[in-house]
Amino acid sequence: MLGHIHPTESVIEESELNDIDKNVIYGDIVYLEDSELIIGQGPIGSNHSLAIKITHKGIDYVDKAINEFIETKLSEFEKLIKEQDPKIKIGKAWEIIKANQGLISTFVNFLSKFAN
What is the C-alpha end-to-end distance of the chain, expressed in Å? 25
Tell whether 37 and 60 lie within a shared domain. Answer: no
Longest dimension (CA), the chain: 63
How many domains are contained in the chain? 2
Q: Which residues of 28-66 are buried (b: 16+ CB within 10 A; e: fewer)?
A: ebeebbeeebbbbbeeeeeebbebbbbbeebeebeeebe
- Cβ contacts of 9 within 8 Å, gap of 6 or more: none
User: Of 12, 29, 54, which residue sits at a domain end?
Assistant: 54
- pLDDT band, residue 113 (cuts 50/70/90): low
Tell whether 35 and 4 lie within a shared domain. Answer: yes
Model pLDDT for residues 55-91, shown as the tens digit of each residue: 999 889 888 888 887 887 788 778 888 888 888 887 8
- Check residue 51 and give its pLDDT: 92
Tell whether 95 and 109 lie within a shared domain. Answer: yes
Tell whether 9 and 43 lie within a shared domain. Answer: yes
SS3 37: coil
Greater model confidence, 98 or 18: 18
3-state SS, one letter per residue, for 39-74? EEECCCCCCCCCEEEECHHHHHHHHHHHHHHHHHHH
Is the pLDDT assigned to residue 50 strictly greater than 70?
yes
Query: Which residue range is the domain that position 91 belongs to?
Result: 56-116
Model pLDDT for residues 8-40, shown as the tens digit of each residue: 888 888 888 888 888 888 888 888 999 999 999
Tell whether 67 and 110 lie within a shared domain. Answer: yes
